[in-house]
Amino acid sequence: MEASTETIVLNVGGIRHQTYCSTLKTFPGTKLCRLTEPQGRAQFDYDTDNNEFFFDRSARLFGDVLNYYRTKHLHCAADVCRSLWEEEMAFWEIPPAQLAPCCWMKLSNPEGPQEEFLLRDDSDDSQEDSLALLGQVERRGHHSWDRWQPKIWALFDKPYSSKAAMCLMIISLLFNMGILILYFMEPTTYLEYVHFNDTQIYGIFHVTLKESFRESFTLFYVELFCILWFTFEFSTRLTFCPDKKKFLMNPLNITDFLSLFPVFIELLFIGHVANMLSLLSWLGLLRVLYIVKLLKVFRLLETPLMLRILPFAFRSLLKEVFILLMVFTFEVLFFGALCYHAELFEPDSYFDGMVSSFYWAAITLTTVGYGDMYAVTPFGKAIACCTAICGILTIIVPLPIFFCKFQGYYAAAITKEKMKSNKRSS
């Protein structure tokens, strides 16, 4: 029989494939090519009864391998796992780089699954932590600190550990809502005043000094009462937390600590209100942290799936975001400098310096367009049009990349949720 018509039988995963030996010789040096050599039967698992080579590998992926020898073009199925595909290609000694460009997008992201399945379920973690605390109570000795430390920590930090812990969390949220109401009312009393004498206040509001002090100090003492509760809560949690380093690195705990300062600083200057009006404005700015404290409400609810995905998606996009910021910075500098020189000899120009032109470029690139500064000359208007168009392209072009990345994480999270539900039902 001629060599070109000699056939060979391959049994891969229980499925028999028959092809010409000349087909397997298409790529010399590969494993399938060595089957056609005289020592091939001794080197590999050859069944003399059925006259076939046997390989306990994936029969589905071997179809793509055999098709590669026939057509010299390597393709893959749409729903194949990248790591599994690369493992099979390594077994058959085929370089993965031979994959056709049309099939690159079919393979899953090699980095995605390693990070996507790291998504954590906060509710499950809370339950596990509570069980771990109870286990610590049982395992530890009879020392009073060993008995009470995990119980008090769970009482103030784990709202689902007991009914008392849930009540404490609700009380803390009520105090937080109360102090927010005070924060929204304070600008109408004394934080807006600039200067005053015995009977008149010069500023936005015109009230008497007596009425101003009466309203402001009433609210101040109510706010002080709320802050004392937060101080007690923060001190207790810090004292009984099992890991103080992790506790102090938590952003919400840092917010709780910084929000205690405004009232205590005002308490030190309570007799010198006239000399601390500028300080009051800065302390009012620090009181914005009262709003951030409202994020604790998520501890009473199951964290939405989308909010759990966002940190992982953003972390995977840090490189793309950094490149986008670099491009945006370049555009601000380039178009800002270009428009500044285009308007340099215009007497009615709004650009009094290079910094103002950079501000105009940033506002134009983001398509905000306040209208407080704009180009006047024809050449400046042409530059402004180019700036707006580049800004639109800079923002729109990366959006599909971000969307696809988030969609991949969301699909992985949905899969993990289904796996958990199936595990619980079984």
What pLDDT does residue 384 have? 93
Instruction: Choose between 415 and 239: higher pLDDT.
Output: 239
Q: Would the pTM of this model clear 0.85, i.e. be above it? A: no
- Domain limits at 376? 308-400
What pLDDT does residue 205 have? 40
For a pLDDT cut of 90, what percent of the chain falls above it? 14
What pLDDT does residue 331 have? 94
What pLDDT does residue 346 have? 85
**In which band, very low, low, confident or very high, does the pLDDT at 272 lie, cut at 50, 70 and 90?**
low
Q: Are 264 and 156 in a shared domain?
A: yes
Lowest mean pLDDT among 86-95, 192-201, 412-421: 192-201
What pLDDT does residue 204 have? 40
Instruction: Choose between 129 and 271: higher pLDDT.
Output: 271
**In which band, very low, low, confident or very high, does the pLDDT at 110 lie, cut at 50, 70 and 90?**
very low
Instruction: Choose between 113 and 267: higher pLDDT.
Output: 267
Q: H-type helices in 250-351, by residue range?
A: 251-258, 261-268, 277-286, 289-292, 305-316, 318-342
Q: Which of 302, 333, 357 is the C-terminal boundary of a domain?
A: 302
Q: Are 314 and 285 in a shared domain?
A: no
Q: What CA–CA distance (Å, rounded) separates 176 from 372?
A: 39
**In which band, very low, low, confident or very high, does the pLDDT at 253 lie, cut at 50, 70 and 90?**
confident
Is residue 423 one of the residues assigned to a domain?
no
- pLDDT tens for 279-327 read 666 776 778 888 888 777 766 665 566 667 777 777 778 888 899 999 9
Q: What is the CATH number for 98?
A: 3.30.710.10
Q: Are 83 and 175 in a shared domain?
A: no
Q: What CA–CA distance (Å, rounded) separates 118 from 108?
A: 17
Q: Are 288 and 334 in a shared domain?
A: no
Report whether 55 contacts 8 (CB < 8 A).
Answer: no
- pLDDT tens for 74-97 read 888 777 887 888 888 889 988 887
Q: Are 279 and 321 in a shared domain?
A: no
Report whether 273 contacts 190 (CB < 8 A).
Answer: yes
What pLDDT does residue 386 have? 94
pLDDT over 70 at 59, yes or no: yes
pLDDT over 60 at 123, yes or no: no
Number of domains in the chain: 3
CA angle 74, 78, 82 (to 5 degrees): 70
Q: Are 181 and 312 in a shared domain?
A: no
pLDDT over 70 at 231, yes or no: yes
